[in-house]
Amino acid sequence: MNLYELTVNDIEKIALSDLLFSEENKAALTQTIKEHQYLEELKKYNLKVDNKILLHGHSGCGKTTTAKAIATALNKNIVIINLSTLINARIGETSKNVKAIFDKAIREKSVLFLDEFDQIGKSRDSDDKDVGEMRRLVNTIIQLIDYFPTDSLLICATNHYHTIDTALLRRFQLRLQFEMPNEKELDLYYDKLLTAFPDHLQNIPRKYTISYAEAKDYVNTTMKKQIIAELEVQKLL
């Protein structure tokens, strides 16, 4: 399998200030970013920086965007891997592919973002149909994480925190939970999204108890309908 078929070297720039999540998460990530910015100075005191982060929680609440923002803040390239694609390859080659991905991130001193981490980090006590292979895979990942250098940064994301092997969980210095946004948080997000459109189109019904990603999709779909409707009316005039 070609490694580059599985990787995305993302160049999208997202500022940490653009993110909408808890102040606790923002403070933790700001501290981590500062540690990496002063990496050499901290080394003089034999202080190790946090470079392994697990983001967990509801889908569509900003985990991938957060990883991109961290890479932007550190001026690093980000390698994005969707592990559901990797695990669906020939399972006997999975450990080899994972090691190749880690090697690539280490060579480039980049941010490595592993999405759907539960696909390869399942508990070794699970009832997986191939328990032996899964145990070997988890052992491989533990070793790769243990030797991951501090000048690179590993970020993993999962919607299924409790299925991940506890030995793997212990390897992450930061474990940040992403909750579904409340009405106030969604209103702030709606306000931000709607400013891109003409004033007379902004007064749309707002949906709640949904994720940020669902809110964005809803606004985009609604705006397309309204804009097309206006253009069709203008054609008739």
Q: Domain tally for the chain?
A: 2
Q: How far apart are CA 141 and CA 139, in angstroms?
A: 5
Q: Which of the listed residues 141, 162, 178 is the one where a domain comes to its end?
A: 178
Residues 154 and 197 reside in one and the same domain: no
- What integer pLDDT is reported at residue 2 of this predicted model? 56
Residues 129 and 210 reside in one and the same domain: no
Residues 149 and 211 reside in one and the same domain: no
- What integer pLDDT is reported at residue 127 of this predicted model? 54
Residues 110 and 169 reside in one and the same domain: yes
- What integer pLDDT is reported at residue 16 of this predicted model? 80
Residues 120 and 200 reside in one and the same domain: no
Contact yes or no for 156/82 (Cβ under 8 A): no
Residues 111 and 57 reside in one and the same domain: yes
Tokens 């191939």 appear where? 130
Task: Work out the number of other CB atoms within 10 angstroms of the CB of residue 203.
Answer: 8
pLDDT beneath 50, residues of the chain: none
Residues 77 and 164 reside in one and the same domain: yes
- Expressed as residue numbers, the domain containing 189 is 183-236
Residues 125 and 189 reside in one and the same domain: no
SS3 137: helix
- What integer pLDDT is reported at residue 147 of this predicted model? 94
- What integer pLDDT is reported at residue 17 of this predicted model? 80
> b/e per residue, 79-107, with b = 16+ CB within 10 A?
bbbbbeebbeeeeeebbebbeebbebbbe
Q: Which of the listed residues 133, 161, 178 is the one where a domain comes to its end?
A: 178
Q: Which of the listed residues 148, 178, 208 is the one where a domain comes to its end?
A: 178
Residues 116 and 224 reside in one and the same domain: no
Residues 200 and 158 reside in one and the same domain: no
CATH code where residue 62 lies: 3.40.50.300
Cα angle 10, 11, 16; round to 5: 95
Residues 71 and 169 reside in one and the same domain: yes
Residues 115 and 230 reside in one and the same domain: no
- What integer pLDDT is reported at residue 96 of this predicted model? 83
